[in-house]
Structure 1
Amino acid sequence: MASAAITLAADAPTLSSANTGFMLICSALVMLMTPGLAFFYGGMVRVKSTLNMLMMSFISLGIVTILWVLYGFSMAFGTDSGSIIGWNSDWVGLSNIGLTQLWDGYTIPIFVFLVFQLMFAIITPALISGALADRVKFTAWALFIALWATLVYFPVAHWVWGAGGWAFELGVIDFAGGTAVHINAGAAALGVILVIGKRVGFKKDPMRPHSLPLVMLGAGLLWFGWFGFNAGSWLGNDDGVGALMFVNTQVATAAAMLAWLIYEKIRHGAFTTLGAASGAVAGLVAITPSGGAVSPLGAIAVGAIAGLLCAMAVGLKYKLGYDDSLDVVGVHLVGGVVGSLLIGFFASGKGQSDVEGLFYGGGLTQFWKQCAGVFAVLAYSLIVSAILAFILDKTIGMRVSEDDEVAGIDQAEHAETAYDFSGAGGGAARTAAAPAPVAAAASKKVDA
């Protein structure tokens, strides 16, 4: 992702209404991804957990937005301190930012940049929720989001994208969030589930998706919104890099979906809709860090490799015994790692920078930089997330009771159900339930 840059006064950019409008549209597209994720996850759980799954994504829209205004933007993109964290007191509460004050080195206002980045901050903790389906108290989850965003997401965003952040200065390439979003969320998911344990009935009871059409709807919304997520991360549309990223997003996603389906057919004997949706998301994840650095042919390779490896990875939870409910680890962590590391092999030197990967004559220099970024973020997020989950579990408790989990977390936590079938009976049912005069009238009509 493009970040702040220092420019000479003579070269200072001026506000571009075209780029400003483009970035506002991209921001709206990224916002749509969080409801899309809610539908994607909501369809994958059992009926009794549908609303809880939707709410675990939606609540992030509320919590992270307020934190971002109060201090999150300042922590992520303020003046660097020790290459670890940022801070700018003028940005606290967003109270001292001019309407037309530009983001340094770019032609869009700071307000546009910060709202675009806000949407990334919102969806990242929402991604974690898929690993915790069926068993987490909603209050504990809401508090976890607030703590995790503050202690993990805001600092990591500064490392990767903030001017002065150590990964940014090292030259780690992350166009739109392979490390800061997907590895960050996937590692956090693994850390939390290792603390809170498995669902009741894991590996014993069937836990199939209750609504595959809902899953496909969510995947379609994610795919659509991801064009804003990726192409918008160049912060403008003047030099063609954003267009390259748009093309590569489509290409890699298609390749990953096909690779997943082929693996699934060979391994399990069928092309499933869940596999198509999951493969598409795996491709979107993998191209997120790499799409500005690779060619369209490279995007095919990135997508196909990610689709295959993520399809293989989702089965590891059964072998290793960790209960990643909706495959956040298998898709987002693995896909983010694959997409980030493959930059070291497929970077063409003709996209966002002149950096070349191994297959283009650049050696392994960039690969080792990518390794540093990938494994530092993975380790930090996993450890801090596990500590946060442990503290919450030992204080307010992270899990609902076993009885509530078995009966259904929707009723226990939200006093609602996703589907109300009480008025959906047929004629016989309605006649049986009708008051005596109504039933008698219906009988006379039948006799007539």
Structure 2
Amino acid sequence: MKSSGLPNEGVLFVHAHPDDETISTGGSIATLAQQGVAVSLLTCTRGERGEVIPPQLAHLEGVGPALAAHREGELADALRELGVTRHLYLGAAGARAEGLPERRYEDSGMVEGADGLPHLVPDASPGCLCLADFEEVVADMVAAIRTTGATSVVSYDERGGYGHPDHVLAHRAAREAAGRAGVGFLEAVEDAAQLERWVSDPEAHDAPDDVMLLDVTPVLDAKVAALRAHATQVTVIEREGEPVSFALSNGRVRPVATIEGLRLVDAAAGAPESGDPEPETRTSRVASSLVSLIIGLLIGVLLTINHQHRLTLGEVTIPIGLIVSLLVVGALLVGMRLVFESRLIALSTAVGVAGATALLSQEGPGGSVLVPGNVEGFVWAYAPLLISLVVLAWPKLPTRGGDRMGVQPRQEGSSL
């Protein structure tokens, strides 16, 4: 375990909502800023679904745009206290992939499930972070890394700290973006008791060699002032003779940590080399869509030709060709969404299948058609369209790796 070796060039902190940067890494941010490191912050959402603590501000709760605007002001005040001069919002100028119009990623919200773990709220907005296309989020983060010139990225651990769905997504996307941009990735160690134990006993059997400890006592005033700036979400508690503490909307009180830890997960790798995926660009998206369209056309032609095949077992006739064709269409489109995590690729494939079916449904020179007016022909003409609509409209298919919600986090306030 090391207490030195901190990033000494450009560092980009990636957090899900306003106030997360201060609660999780406020001391680290202020320490690096005081050391002259170029510290930048990327905030993914504006915390539209946060719970509001002060009664005089209660009218903001549940009013997304109003609360978002207020929390933007709180965040600006907090960053002045921490010494951060470069701040970006994901999807906005400087943090948006080339060729895409700017957008706002909204707070996904969080609810405690029957298992006691954080889950995405049932009424999450279609524009929220967790339901966004993962590749789009990563591409935007890569743009932020390039805009800020960061050589290291810091975000949550794989559990998202205490498990908020937006935190988990931010970790996954930030780590992926750091890899694609060829920069280092560090995660915040937020278990205060564990950090204190490592400080008191550096030889502890569970003390890792890749954690950098920071004594943030010299910047504690700045951290506390930044916490106080987030008045809608945080209540700072100061009592004479006691450590400064704070409470969230759930009323749970905890001390303001004087030790923070950063764990190096992926060392900087330099510019991406052969074998490393390049950030997605408009050209690559067009090329991928074109390839998907061609694949859809070829599959559509093959299935249209064979969808009339039947299998007779005794007196029972099974439309085996139609059944197999529909299964192939469903598997193909679901596979496209799972592998590429993009509706655009699946849509291009669906258009290809539909286009081939429509083309081959036309009468040929001899008057015959490959899609005759029988039951199989009727089903084949319309069922692929229905399958396409279901796959494309589905809010979010499970992602590769399955780690978005499969975590065992500590439970904290529900509004961060």
Structure-2-length-normalised TM-score: 0.26
- Structure with the greater alpha carbon radius of gyration: 2
- Please identify which structure carries the higher strand content: 2
Q: Between the two structures, name the one with larger relative contact order (CA 8 Å, sep ≥ 6).
A: 1
Structure-1-length-normalised TM-score: 0.24
